[in-house]
Amino acid sequence: MSDVETQSQELQSQESEKQAANDNEKLFRLPLSRIKSIMKSDPDVTLASQEAVITLAKATELFIHSLSKDAVISTLNSKRKTLQRKDLDSMLDTKDCYVFLEGTLDS
């Protein structure tokens, strides 16, 4: 029962987020500090320029966009209205460029 409440809350916050996104495009950007933290977690990395962090943030946005677009094809083919985990999984198996994700998404 609490799941239903959470879902309706999520829907409401999503709608208001959409409005906020239209008002301020900058909200679209992933936080550079978080990208930088992930980069720094690699022991081989010494330094990254600010431009590199910005470029990688943008690349990550493109990646999320691309991943979603590919996964939703499976959703639509199955005549569903909700993008589910299995849509992602089936697409990850199909496309070569996503092979680096193998085994990383199982928590």
Tell me how far, at minimum, the Cβ of 78 lies from another protein, in Å: 12
55 near another protein, rule: CB under 8 A: yes
Q: Does 74 bind another protein (CB under 8 A)?
A: no
- Residue 21 to residues 8, 14, 17, 87, Cα–Cα distance (Å): 20, 10, 6, 26
Q: Which is nearer to another protein, 18 or 93 (CB)?
A: 18
Note whether 18 binds another protein by CB under 8 A.
yes
| 48 lies in the site for another protein, by CB under 8 A | yes
Using CB under 8 A as the binding rule, whether residue 19 contacts another protein is answered as: no
Residue count, binding to another protein (CB under 8 A): 58
Give, rounded to a whole angstrom, the gap between the first and last alpha carbons of the chain.
25
Of 61, 66, 71, 62, whose CA–CA distance to 92 is shortest? 71
SS3 62: helix
Cβ density class 15-35: b for 16+ within 10 Å, e for less: eeeeeeeeeeeeeeeeeeeeb
Should residue 91 be labelled a site residue for another protein when binding is judged by CB under 8 A?
A: no
| Interface positions with another protein (CB under 8 A) | 14, 17-18, 21, 27-31, 34-35, 37-39, 41-42, 44-49, 51-52, 54-56, 58-69, 71-72, 75-76, 81-85, 87-88, 96-98, 100-101, 104-105, 107
